Amino acid sequence: MKCHIASEVTFISCKELQNHAEARFTCKTKDTASPSLAIVRQLANFVTCSCGGFAGTCQSPVVIRSTKSSDKMPSIRQNYHIESEAGVNKQINLELYASYVYLSMASYFQSATVALPGAHEYFMKASDEEREHAKKFLKFQNQRGGTVVLQDIVKPGKNTWGTLRDAVNDALELEKNVNQALLDLHGIAEKHSDPQMQNWIEQNFLTHQVEAIKELGDHLRRLERVGPGLGEYMYDHESLVDD
């Protein structure tokens, strides 16, 4: 088996092929019993090809990538551990899930059977806010040289959210879960000595989460005092609109 550079007519040996970096080749072999790609892979570890190359006439481009550090493209990535990168992608998914839950709540309270406009507005605002948080993490991932990997967003656990008090209680638990995830992510950054990531999480999220949890806790206690029915209706009108 011999391979030659597609843009040249000079043949080179497979040993020479193995030493080339970022070169495109057309591979030929008379061994019709096995694919040329398999033979090339046996000789060079980092080969990509879209064709198996049967019948000895593979014309697909084959890329040989050198493993030498001097051949790598410059990267902005520095002191960014793969566990931190994976954690950021996980947090993106959680923030989008939280946005999804709040969107479901907002839709529920806008329905004709519930009709609490204050709650609709409050939870719609919360949904938008969580989506903005996800976008911040997307930007951070790219700034640190990581790769954004979006995952499936799990649907909310319910379609109806009961009374306003029930929904606020669910929202409180959701915010506490998000807060714990942020604390865990901060811990990962600390474990891998990444003060820049720690500082970024602290400045952009941790204080906000404490405030959000306190706000929802206050709403919950007040709703327990006013009770369901007319009490919730008045609270929705007076305390949640433009909150």
pLDDT at 72: 59
pLDDT at 239: 78
pLDDT at 30: 41
User: pTM here?
Assistant: 0.70
pLDDT at 110: 96
CATH number assigned to the domain covering 82-240: 1.20.1260.10
pLDDT at 7: 35
Please check whether residue 134 is in contact with residue 99, taking contact to mean a CB–CB distance below 8 angstroms: yes
pLDDT at 241: 65
Tell me the H-state helices in the chain. Answer: 14-19, 36-43, 82-110, 117-143, 164-191, 195-201, 207-226, 230-235
pLDDT at 149: 96
C-alpha angle with apex 210: 205 to 215, nearest 5 degrees? 120
Give the strand order in the sheet containing 23-28.
Answer: 11-12, 2-5, 23-28, 62-64, 47-48
**What string of pLDDT tens digits covers the 243 residues of the chain?**
444 333 333 333 444 444 443 333 344 444 444 334 443 344 343 333 333 433 334 444 443 333 444 445 558 999 999 999 999 999 999 999 999 999 999 999 999 999 999 999 999 999 999 999 999 999 999 999 999 999 999 999 999 999 999 999 999 999 999 999 999 999 999 999 999 999 999 999 999 999 999 999 999 999 999 988 888 989 988 877 654
**DSSP one-letter code for 154:** P
- 175 belongs to an annotated ligand binding site: yes
Residues of the chain with CATH 1.20.1260.10: 82-240
